[in-house]
């Protein structure tokens, strides 16, 4: 059975609302939750971007069952990996062992704010691998000093460590990232239902480890309204990932997606209230080999009706996958 998750999308709701939403997701019966970790929204129309780690701390206290996870944090530019290790250990303690640390090589959209430039993909992946090594050493306890190609750590130690370290997930988009994920990760993260990515992950040591996907959806009893909302807030998602990783601002994403039509979005994102349409979208991930799929309901002010519908209709249908 594929586990079904709920996404706290920080780009489309404020911090208090995000916590209320994940409480509702727990009540509705979702198996786990994930949260994005952004400094900017993808598009101005989304309108939000609170600090994800504060939201996670509040969510850990407001919920009691549902697992939490970053989807994903970049531990190389905005954040130093030692600081990411401290944050992750703290959330694991607050949630009493319900946290998983999802990591990725990041996007210029969020990382440019510290003014260090945006390196090429090879350097980003080298930095990610070093960051994972540092985080794991700190999770192991004791003092850590490290001098690598990209990072230096001087006598760092985590003074509040959970009994079980958070599992580390790594986002993938190609062979190189699949190698890093397979060798260094406890699970793999991907946003496309591509079996080739999971096969590469398995070849590099990932066989038998959890595989977590994510799919955007837009529930609304008025399908036209759902398509319009998805187009306004999620048209960025149809762009190729190598381009999305490079764009620096919401204005840049607006320009890059100016020719994306509502018909394009209606074809790419399940919209409306037909349960079978949503089940088919998740089935594509299940057929590719994913063991978990997190749903993104588009529209920060459309979460409550979605959660009620999901509890009564969508989740029961998805349990049959």
Q: Which residues are catalytic?
A: 38, 107
Which of 112, 116, 156 has the alpha carbon at shortest distance from 136?
156
Residue 306, SS3 per DSSP:
helix
If you ran DSSP here, which 8-state letter would residue 12 be given? S
Among all chains, which residue has been given the structure tokens 């397979």? 182
* Helix axes of 121-139 and 175-184: crossing angle, nearest 10 degrees: 10
Report the alpha-carbon distance of residue 121 to residue 129 in Å, rounded: 12
Which of 66, 62, 52 has the alpha carbon at shortest distance from 5?
66
Contact present, 218 and 227 (Cβ < 8 Å): yes
The token duo for 248 is: 């620096």
Contact present, 213 and 193 (Cβ < 8 Å): yes
Report the alpha-carbon distance of residue 247 to residue 261 in Å, rounded: 20
């Amino acid at each position: 059975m594929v586990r079904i998750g709920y996404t706290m999308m920080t780009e489309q709701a404020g911090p208090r609302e995000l916590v209320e939403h994940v409480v509702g997701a727990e009540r509705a019966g979702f198996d786990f939750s994930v949260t994005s970790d952004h400094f900017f929204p993808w598009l101005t129309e989304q309108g939000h971007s609170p600090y994800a780690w504060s939201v996670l701390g509040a969510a850990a206290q407001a919920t009691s069952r549902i697992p939490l996870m970053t989807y994903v944090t970049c531990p190389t530019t905005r954040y130093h990996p030692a600081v990411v290790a401290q944050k992750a250990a703290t959330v694991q303690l607050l949630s009493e062992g319900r946290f998983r640390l999802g990591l990725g090589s990041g996007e210029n959209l969020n990382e440019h704010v510290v003014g260090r430039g945006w390196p090429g993909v090879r350097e980003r992946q080298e930095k990610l691998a070093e960051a994972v090594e540092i985080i794991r050493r700190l999770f192991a306890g004791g003092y850590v000093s490290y001098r690598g190609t990209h990072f230096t750590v001087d006598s760092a130690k985590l003074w509040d460590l959970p009994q079980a370290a958070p599992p580390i997930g790594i986002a993938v988009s190609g062979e190189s990232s699949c190698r890093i994920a397979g060798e260094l990760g406890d699970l793999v993260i991907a946003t496309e239902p591509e079996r080739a990515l999971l096969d590469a992950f398995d070849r590099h040591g990932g066989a038998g480890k959890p595989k977590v996907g994510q799919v955007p959806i837009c529930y609304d009893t008025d399908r036209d309204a759902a398509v319009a909302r998805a187009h306004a807030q999620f048209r960025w998602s149809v762009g190729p990932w190598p381009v999305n990783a490079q764009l620096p601002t919401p204005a840049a994403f607006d320009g890059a997606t100016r020719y994306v039509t509502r018909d394009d979005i209606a074809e790419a994102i399940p919209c409306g209230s037909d349960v079978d349409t949503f089940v088919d979208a998740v089935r594509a991930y299940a057929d590719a080999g994913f063991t978990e799929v997190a749903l993104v309901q588009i529209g920060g002010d459309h979460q409550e009706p979605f959660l009620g519908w999901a509890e009564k209709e969508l989740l029961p249908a998805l349990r049959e996958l």
